[in-house]
């Protein structure tokens, strides 16, 4: 019995109020009930883009023009009991206003989605350009290092010119000192 009282006192705290149970952080929250119906914003965005694309075509203008012409002709020339919109065409004006009031927000929504896609594309292009610039700078430094390294390496032309200079020196030496020859040096080197 004393253990039950301690557990009860631990859950109520020193003030005697009952604490709500703690939410577990290792589990997702239970979904809340909402008053408004839920919708997929991505699906709605795609739907609005399709409508906006259709509203921007010549096909829409042709169909709209035909509907208005038929509407006006029907309400002028049809028998009086079959006319549904008399001469000032107030119902036609209402329908066109309704169509415009829905078309404008859908077009704006499609433009906002296109702006978001363009922003992402521009950001990716900017990052790609930065990588390209960094790669180009790295390659430029590597080429400069190779050129500097090649400046210290003996090239074929440099070796050729050095050999030609040595041959000229040897020919001049033979002219100045005809008794000296390489063959004598070689024979002397081989003697014990």
User: Percentage of the chain with pLDDT > 90?
Assistant: 51
Task: Give residue 186's pLDDT.
Answer: 52
CB-based contacts of 49: which residues, under 8 Å, 6+ apart?
A: 109, 110, 113, 114
* Per-residue pLDDT reduced to its tens digit, 82-108: 999 988 999 999 999 999 999 999 999
Task: Give residue 12's pLDDT.
Answer: 53
What's CA 94's distance to the chain center, in Å? 44
Alpha-carbon radius of gyration of the chain? 47
- What is the pTM (predicted TM-score) of this model? 0.52
Mean pLDDT of 29-34: 82
In 3D space, the residue among 140, 139, 114 whose CA is nearest the CA of residue 53 turns out to be 114
Task: Give residue 96's pLDDT.
Answer: 95
Mean pLDDT of 50-74: 94
Half-sphere exposure of 35 (CA within 13 A, CB side): 0
Question: In the predicted model, is pLDDT for residue 81 greater than 70?
Answer: yes
Question: In the predicted model, is pLDDT for residue 34 greater than 70?
Answer: yes
Task: Give residue 94's pLDDT.
Answer: 96
């Amino acid at each position: 019995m004393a253990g039950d009282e301690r557990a009860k006192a631990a859950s109520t705290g020193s003030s005697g109020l009952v604490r709500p149970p703690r939410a577990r952080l290792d589990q997702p929250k239970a979904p809340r009930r909402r008053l408004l119906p839920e919708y997929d914003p991505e699906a709605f965005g795609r739907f609005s883009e399709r409508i906006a694309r259709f509203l921007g075509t010549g096909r829409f203008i042709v169909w709209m023009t035909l509907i208005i012409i038929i509407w006006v002709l029907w309400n002028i020339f049809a028998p009086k009991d079959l006319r549904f919109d008399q001469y000032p065409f107030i119902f036609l004006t209402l329908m066109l206003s309704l169509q415009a009031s829905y078309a404008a927000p859908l077009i704006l929504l499609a433009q906002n989605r296109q702006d978001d896609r363009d922003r992402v594309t521009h950001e990716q292009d900017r990052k790609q350009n930065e990588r390209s610039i960094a790669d180009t700078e790295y390659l430029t430094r590597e080429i400069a290092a190779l050129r500097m390294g090649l400046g210290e390496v003996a090239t074929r032309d440099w070796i050729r010119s050095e050999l030609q200079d040595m041959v000229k020196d040897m020919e001049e030496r033979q002219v100045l000192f005809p008794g000296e020859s390489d063959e004598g040096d070689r024979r002397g080197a081989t003697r014990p």
